[in-house]
Amino acid sequence: MVLVGTDVQKAKEFLEQGEVIGLPTETVYGLAGNALNPDAVLKIFKVKNRPSFDPLIVHTDSLDKAETFVTAIPEKARRVAERFWPGPVTILLPKKAVIPDLVSSGLDTVAIRIPNHPLALKLLSVLDFPLAAPSANPFGYISPTTARHVVQQLGDQIPYVLDGGSAQVGIESTIIGFSDDGPIVYRLGGMTLEKLEAVLGKVAVRSHSTSNPKAPGMLSSHYAPRKPLLLKTPQEILKTHKPERIGVLAFDELTRLIPLENQQILSVTGDLNEAAKNLFAAMRALDALDVDVIVADLLPEMGLGRAVNDRLRRAAFK
């Protein structure tokens, strides 16, 4: 039976024993293990049923520690780290040999971030190693935003979940790398393009890959409920399904065409940040209903709306 609590010392002991645990962050809950221990990293892949060609994010609690895992931090990357860490942005950097190839899926770069969550930072500060921590869910399924979600999905496979409450951002970190041509966002996420471009100037976006991704979270099909999710209007889907067999994921307005109990609204005020925070919990609630299909609205393509739309498009990808 999995234990759930706020005991950082207990979490530390499990991690030092090579176990993996549920880790709260401001984005989503992670499935965390010692990033320098290949056996612990392998356990992460096994628990998630995650393909080993999909790299992991390494979490630490200071820029000084991050520098010990990489060969260099380019000037623009350092600018992002100093401005936005701790926070929901992950930086791809050239790795040292101390980072196992299993973590980086054989790539010569490693994805690193400092999470902005007090319990995660407290735990990281007392560990002698960084944590590899993808989202704490079966591979490809909806990411968890509460400790309860982690227990529901992985509870019999891990010994402990550190409970840090509901994730405040609600979607994964933005991943950014740097090439000779400039900064590239490989995954849209909790740090908006607008904020990054205010620091860096123009940023390119290359966020999808069908195989052998260059960064975590790039696979085209991801974050998906078990029920089919379609980016259509209720009117369109009513041509083939009865109203009571349809679930609706709405941005800011419900529809009269579908039973109210079959609808989830992300933000009644149209707040993109609130919508991002509520996305995965709403998808999870709809997936639990006795419906045949879920239809979803896309959000405005600005701010965190871009990242929410990215998750919805991948959830709908077939």
Q: Residues within the annotated binding site for L-threonine?
A: 27, 113, 133, 173
Closest CA to 163 of 1, 283, 10: 10
How many angstroms separate the CA atoms of 145 and 232, rounded?
A: 26
Closest CA to 98 of 81, 110, 115: 110
Encoding tokens for residue 246? 């349809």
Decide: 24 and 162 in contact? Cβ < 8 Å: yes
Encoding tokens for residue 185? 């966002």
Side-by-side strand order, sheet with 293-296: 229-230, 293-296, 246-250, 263-265
Binding residues, as ranges, are 27, 50, 59, 109, 113, 133, 135, 143, 173, 187, 223
Binding residues for ATP, as ranges, are 50, 59, 109, 135, 143, 187, 223
Encoding tokens for residue 134? 């993808």
Alpha helix stretches (DSSP H) within 118-162? 118-126, 147-154
How many angstroms separate the CA atoms of 261 and 128, rounded?
A: 48
Q: 106: left (phi > 0), else alpha (psi -120 to 50), else beta?
A: left
Residue with the two structure tokens 């407290």: 122
Compute CA 96 distance to the chain's CA centroid, rounded to the nearest angstrom.
24
- At residue 23, what is the residue type? L
How many angstroms separate the CA atoms of 134 and 157, rounded?
A: 15
CA distances for 196 relative to 90, 132, 165, 193, angstroms? 12, 24, 27, 5
